[in-house]
């Protein structure tokens, strides 16, 4: 069983002659407890091309110390990592293998570095004896594997104790700096070992020539979304908050960019990728959509007076949600584990390594991107005007949903163009987001009404009162009508000519 620990630490340069200053002079530290020495032996694993290290991930199998076993570390922020631990075993645990699959794909990980460390440990405690931080002086020998050069160094590591205030790091650093001890220039032991024993990990970047061309700008945005999909894969597997939603958004942004910038990237290459991105977003969305809908209906029930909640309405909602949401997480994980998902990631890498650039990709970014944004606006305007011309009802609901999708595409196109077009693109995207929001709220009410009708039918068939579900259906009808009344005003602001004038070249 894997467990996760949030690691907050800082590293400092040292030599064999370096002595720690008196750390009881650091704010909050009452005493320094000598915890003795220990020997650590860690083998770090990666693909032959160092894909994990290129993304600042580390995977090791370590013996010695209180936490021996397999450790996989994900960067969270500077000096902060999530360490996922699994028990010591000969082979890489399946749970950790799954978390690195979006990076490793079909490649096996192999030993790349062996680190043997002699660690002297000191505990910093407060007046009540509560552990604040652990200070380690590590004498390290690193061997490049399978038969590469070696290197050695000494470093000091200060790690915040569980549940302790991270500000202890500032207090300790102040004392260390006064003693002439400076922060390390390496982010991790592995990074330093790789740098000093041969080729270090380097991220592959697309080669597109001039940075102010349309191709360079679009590919930079594509790279950002691909990186997000790869990075969010393990986050979804770990069931981290909002990870499914964010991965789905990255898929949609990327698919939208392929459509908006067809003058830049050859659609014979990007259209099949867009289809696969649509599939992946759909697999991810199954769980997310049901979760959002259930929360909306629960909130509606919570707002009702008890006298209007007739029958076992909460139990009925739970039954309905379990029936619709059952297996959603298994469905998501199955998609991420599928050969289809890995093939998509490989295809996206291929696109970035050898981008299918069209003639316009070599032109000035501002003019090409602005034309694409305005074309998406025209598409939205056609759909918005059509929706507004229809009477209230099913056809108008469908038309507003189509307008919402067009608003989202126009927004994403403007966000992708913002580095080239600046504030005009930012203002335009903001207005498109407002259109998307009001139309999204309207669509949510349409979906909720369908669900409430389903719940009413189930309740009636079970001999329960359907009154409450009808009441909530009426509330959702009112919410949808409010959105329809709001839309013309929001669209008037978004369609103002002055908003598009700065984008016209």
Which tens digits make up the pLDDT trace of 169-216? 999 999 999 999 999 999 899 999 999 998 777 666 655 556 789 999
Looking only at the bridges linking them, the beta strands covering 131-144 and 150-160 are antiparallel
On the CB side of 281, CA atoms within 13 Å amount to 16
Q: What is the pLDDT of residue 205?
A: 63
Give residue 327's pLDDT band: very low, low, confident or very high (50, 70, 90): confident
Q: What is the pLDDT of residue 472?
A: 97
Q: What is the pLDDT of residue 325?
A: 73
pLDDT in tens, 223-246: 999 999 999 999 999 999 899 999
pLDDT score of 382 more than 80:
yes
Please provide the average confidence, as pLDDT, over all residues in the chain.
94
Among 424, 415, 445, 169, smallest CA distance to 292 is for: 445
> Can you read off the two tokens belonging to residue 295?
């929360």
Q: Is the pTM for the entire model greater than 0.85?
A: yes
Q: What is the pLDDT of residue 232?
A: 97
Contact between residue 351 and residue 276 where contact means Cβ atoms under 8 Å apart: no
Q: Residue 5: how many CB atoms within 10 A of its CB?
A: 13
pLDDT score of 277 more than 60:
yes
Per-residue pLDDT averaged across 111-131, rounded? 96
Share of the chain above pLDDT 90, in %: 89
Indicate the angle between helix axes 267-303 and 339-353, nearest 10 degrees: 130
CA-only gyration radius of the chain, Å: 28
pLDDT score of 326 more than 80:
no
What distance in Å separates the CA atoms of residue 358 and residue 265, rounded to the nearest whole number?
6
What distance in Å separates the CA atoms of residue 226 and residue 247, rounded to the nearest whole number?
10
Looking at per-residue pLDDT, the higher value among 198 and 83 belongs to 83
Where helices occur in 326-466 by DSSP H, the ranges are: 328-337, 339-353, 365-389, 394-421, 423-461
Lowest mean pLDDT among 137-146, 187-196, 207-216, 408-417: 207-216
Q: Containing H/E element for 256?
A: helix 243-260
pLDDT score of 65 more than 90:
no
466: Cβ contacts below 8 Å, ≥ 6 apart: 456, 457, 459, 460
């Amino acid at each position: 069983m894997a467990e996760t620990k949030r690691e907050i630490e800082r590293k400092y340069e040292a030599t064999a002659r370096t002595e720690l200053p008196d750390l009881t002079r650091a704010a909050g530290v009452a005493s320094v407890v000598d915890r003795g020495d220990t020997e650590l032996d860690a083998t770090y694993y990666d693909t032959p091309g160092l894909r994990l290290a290129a993304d600042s991930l580390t995977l090791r199998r370590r013996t010695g110390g209180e936490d021996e076993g397999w450790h996989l570390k994900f960067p969270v922020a500077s000096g902060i990592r999530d360490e996922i631990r699994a028990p010591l075993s000969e082979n890489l645990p399946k749970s950790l293998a799954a978390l690195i699959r979006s990076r490793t794909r079909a490649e096996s990980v192999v030993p790349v570095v062996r680190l043997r460390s002699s660690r002297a440990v000191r505990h910093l405690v407060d007046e009540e004896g509560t552990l604040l931080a652990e200070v380690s002086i590590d004498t390290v020998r690193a061997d490049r594997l399978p038969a590469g050069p070696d290197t050695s160094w000494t470093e000091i590591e200060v790690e915040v104790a569980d549940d302790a205030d991270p500000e202890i790091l500032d207090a300790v650093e102040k004392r260390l700096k006064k003693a002439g001890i400076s922060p390390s220039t390496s982010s991790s032991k592995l990074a330093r070992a790789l740098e000093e024993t041969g080729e270090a990990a380097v991220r592959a970047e697309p080669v597109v020539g001039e940075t102010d061309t349309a191709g360079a700008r679009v590919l930079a945005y594509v790279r950002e979304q691909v990186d997000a999909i790869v990075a969010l894969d393990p986050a979804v597997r770990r069931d981290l908050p909002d990870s499914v939603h964010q991965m789905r958004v990255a898929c949609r942004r990327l698919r939208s960019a392929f459509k908006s910038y067809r003058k830049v990237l050859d659609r014979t290459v990007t259209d099949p990728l867009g289809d696969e991105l649509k599939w992946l977003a759909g697999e991810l969305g199954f769980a997310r959509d049901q979760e959002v809908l259930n929360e909306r209906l629960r909130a509606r029930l919570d707002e009702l007076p008890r006298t209007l909640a007739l029958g076992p309405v909460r139990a009925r909602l739970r039954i309905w949600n379990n029936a619709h949401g059952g297996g959603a997480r298994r469905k998501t994980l199955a998609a991420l584990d599928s050969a289809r998902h890995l093939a998509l990631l490989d295809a996206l890498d291929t696109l970035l390594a050898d981008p299918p650039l069209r003639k316009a990709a070599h032109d000035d970014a501002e003019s090409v991107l602005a034309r694409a944004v305005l074309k998406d606006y025209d598409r939205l305007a056609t759909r918005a005007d059509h929706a507004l011309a229809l009477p209230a009802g099913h056809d108008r609901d469908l038309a507003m949903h189509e307008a919402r999708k067009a608003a989202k595409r126009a927004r994403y196109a403007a966000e992708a163009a913002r580095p080239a077009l600046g504030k005009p693109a930012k203002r335009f995207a903001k207005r498109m987001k407002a259109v998307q929001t009001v139309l999204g709220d309207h669509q949510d009410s349409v979906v909720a009404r369908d669900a409430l009708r389903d719940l009413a039918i189930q309740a009636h068939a079970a001999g329960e009162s359907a009154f409450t579900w009808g009441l909530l259906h009426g509330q959702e009808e009112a919410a949808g009508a409010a959105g329809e009344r709001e839309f013309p005003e929001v669209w008037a602001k978004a369609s103002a000519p002055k908003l598009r004038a700065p984008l016209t070249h």
